[in-house]
Amino acid sequence: MSVLKGVKIIEIAGIGPGPFCGMLLADLGADVIVIERPGGGDLPAAITRRGKRSVALDLKSPASIDTVLRLIEGADALIEGMRPGVMERLGLGPDVCMAHNPRLVYGRMTGWGQDGPLAQTAGHDANYIALSGALWYASEAGQPPVAPPTLVGDLGGGALYLAVGVLAGILNARSGGQGQVVDAAIVDGSAHLMNLMLDLIGGGLGSEKRGTSLLDGPHWYTSYRCADGRDITVGALEPKFYRLLLEKLGLEDDPRFANQNKVSQWPEQKQQLAALFATRPRDAWCALLEGSDACFAPVLAPSEAARHPHIAARGIYSVEDGLLQAHPAPRFSNSPAAAGRPIPKVGEHTEQVLKEIRTPRQ
């Protein structure tokens, strides 16, 4: 049995972190019913629609709004990613929906949040994490920060926090509480993600000067370009792992690397390691370092990662519906999530879902 069997989520179709949150909940077994525009409209990417049931409704129609409200009556939660005020103008704001279902958890995904000076301003992942401070360390010293697209803000600070908030709200409602609004702002979540780095700063292991903190400046915690133009990473944080890295590289007796944590030496040490790693192709470094406690990994494209022995052994990726997809996570010992769940056509389940709605109100 899936861990979220019996949980029903209504998702108002959108793009980005909202659909990703719905996919995550569907991966874990929730019945996620996504309300989409007839014909698709601004159709979200296919993978984030997997495992859901699709209902096509024109939300500009009063009859469609009434249908959504009837669906909400039997749901645990609703998730939406509209700009603040849009759902209220549609007649589907929290007050209306929770009047129909007082135990409803109403999950709201935005970049800036439901209130504040920027609440009505457009933005994207890079903007939210820039303002929250989460982008600050995403660069070499002296270079402008660049973060992996969508991962830190939309997904890490947005979709995952919305999922946690919705599930926490459902648990509270089922234990005798009432429904409530979950305001999952990416700017909030990405700032919250900074607490580990802020802890390092508070402990004297970091600062706001780029290139001088424990995880953003050392020669032993970064990526390097190899002779064939491909890249590798090292992350030998602990002294015993650092010693092993030096031994593997034949540098254990080199005085230039004797001091692991002298910040003033890091730039020169990094240049020296960069020159060394540039002498051999990536696969040669993999043969030397991979599988050891030197804290090493090659930098792989997703399609290449899918073929890596460790990734393949865990079955992390597969090709479904012609698309390379990552399987559900996390894993449960007694409730395995189903891989390869189908991606619905827009409106595929409209008739089925509408039949499940109880007799219309008199």
As annotated, the active-site residues are 124, 154
Tokens in use for 98?
Answer: 């929770």
What does the DSSP assignment read for 6-47? T-EEEEE--STHHHHHHHHHHHTT-EEEEEE-TT-SSPPPSG
What does the DSSP assignment read for 46-89? SGGGTT-EEEE--TTSHHHHHHHHHHHHT-SEEEE-PPTTHHHH
Tell me the backbone φ, ψ of residue 325, rounded to 5 degrees.
-130, 145
Whether 132 contacts 194, CB under 8 Å:
yes
Whether 26 contacts 54, CB under 8 Å:
no
Burial 111-128 (b: 16+ CB within 10 A, else e): bbbeeeebeeeebebbbb
Whether 81 contacts 16, CB under 8 Å:
yes
* Number of Cβ within a 10 Å radius of residue 54: 22
Q: What interhelical angle do 282-289 and 239-248 show, nearest 10?
A: 120
3-state secondary structure of 123: coil
Closest C-alpha among 260, 344, 246 to residue 48? 344
Residue with tokens 């947005």: 158
